[in-house]
Copies of this chain bind each other. A is one copy, B any other.
Amino acid sequence: MFAEIITIGDEILIGQIVDTNSAWMAVELNKIGVKVKQITSISDDAEHIVNALDQAQQRADLILITGGLGPTKDDITKHTLAKYFNMPMRLDEVTLAHVKQFFEKLNRPMIESNVKQAEVPDGCTVIMNKNGTAPCMWFEHHGKIIVSMPGVPFEMKYLMEDQIIPRIKKAFQLPFIIHQTILTAGLGESFLAQQIEDIEESLPDHIKLAYLPKLGLVRLRLSASGFDELALQKEILIYTQKIVERVGQYVVLTEDVPFEKAIMNLMEENSLSLSVAESCTGGYLSHLFTQHPGSSTVFQGGAVTYSNELKQAVLGVKEETLLAFGAVSEQTANEMAKGAVNNFNTDYAIAITGIAGPGGGTAEKPVGTVWIAVANRNEVKAKVFQFANQRLQNIERSAMAALMMLFLKLKNDLKN
């Protein structure tokens, strides 16, 4: 079964925002066995919306529309849909009550355009948007389903997870899709593919293998689709075991959770605590951990020590070390990690110090040079990495390399 995603609004077309909604939706749709045939971004223009809708229905059975539902004049999606489906507008009392409550809670007065948020085409199913004032609308039309949602990411995501996905599952007879992820590190995509070529070739048609490389890691994903869930689970397990047997030394995880979350799970099971000392990653690694609910069980906190003064004051890095070896050095990384373990009183600590760029590089230590140290209460070890010129990419790669070092250290320590 095919779906199409249509995003409405100028923000994407002028490049002001990157369309992250569509990728998120595509992932969610894939999980329930719906393939996305096309993603289309168009402006708030009635004729263009109508054309996009016509064309999408030639390719797909399900059309998910986001955006253009705001209270201002340039938001014309709702009226265009009403006209398209030949439905008059009506005031939806449930939505109106919700909008009123919404403004009461914010302690703000309502104006005319806010009341209009409660108007809907008479004939669609109205789905309450508890995180905003624009309701979600579900249309059925000549055997096709068209859903209009707000474009605000957290409103759309809540609606998709809580309302739209369950309704799609009911509306279409969808196969089960089972995914199994194998996270690997240390071997490039093409070399991995070479090693498991025969396993890949032996896969039946309803099982696919995808290679998803990212920041030095390669995620292998097996996806099986079919109508017998139990049989699929057994089958996918067999192929997973075959791959793990073959390239086991490169396998990090066979869970489909973010790497940092898997590390925190492992540490929580073993009652271990963690802190970080970040220089060039500037808080990004801390954010990776703390974005997950419950992270405070493991993650105690840390320091973002951009300046040398803070490296000394907060982490106890010695002035002599900074003078003799510089802020980006094995010695400084080691002292930062040890300082974090001691000063923050945690079982483990990660320290990252490097030159994220674009400025600050030297011939000896070019942009992209990053020292990472991992310490436990007894020992510390650092490693140097040479990344590239892109600041944000260097920040992300440094964090990923640090996670890998911590993970390997943990696995080793817990084995003993």
Residues in A lying within 8 Å of B, measured CB to CB: 10-20, 22-28, 30, 35-43, 48, 52, 55, 59, 70-74, 108, 111, 113-114, 131, 154, 158, 188-191, 193-194, 200, 210-213, 221, 223, 275-276, 278, 281-287, 289-291, 293-296, 299-307, 309-310, 313-314, 343-345, 356-359, 388, 390-393, 395
Q: Report yes or no: A211 in contact with B38, Cβ–Cβ below 8 A.
A: no
Per the bound structure, the CA–CA distance linking A272 and B71 in Å amounts to 40
The answer to whether residues A284 and B287 also contact, given A212-B11, A344-B313 and a CB cut-off of 8 A, is yes
Could you list 21 examples of A-B contacts with CB < 8 Å? Answer: A13-B38, A16-B210, A39-B41, A40-B41, A48-B59, A71-B189, A72-B189, A73-B200, A108-B191, A131-B390, A158-B390, A283-B290, A283-B302, A284-B290, A284-B291, A291-B391, A291-B392, A293-B391, A300-B306, A302-B304, A313-B344
Contacts of A158 in B (CB 8 A): 390
Q: Indicate whether A282 sits within 8 Å of B290 (C-beta atoms), given known contacts A25-B15, A74-B210, A301-B306.
A: yes
Give Cα A301 to B40, complex, Å. Answer: 42
Query: Residue on B with the closest CB to A41?
Result: B39
Would you call B19 and A19 a contact (CB within 8 A)?
A: yes
**Alpha-carbon distance between A191 and B110 when the two chains are bound, in angstroms:** 9
Quick one: given A25-B15, A301-B305, A343-B313, are A111 and B291 in contact (CB under 8 Å)? no
Closest CB-CB distance, A322 to chain B, in whole Å?
14
Q: Is the CB of A289 within 8 A of B300?
A: no
Q: How far is A155 from B271 in the complex, measured between Cα atoms in Å?
A: 41
Cα(A10)–Cα(B221), bound, Å: 11
Known A26-B13, A38-B42, A300-B307; contact A284-B283, beta-carbon cutoff 8 A: yes
Contact of A301 among B113, B210, B304 (CB under 8 A): B304
Interchain CB contact under 8 A, B304 and A286: yes
CB distance from A133 to the nearest CB of B (A): 9
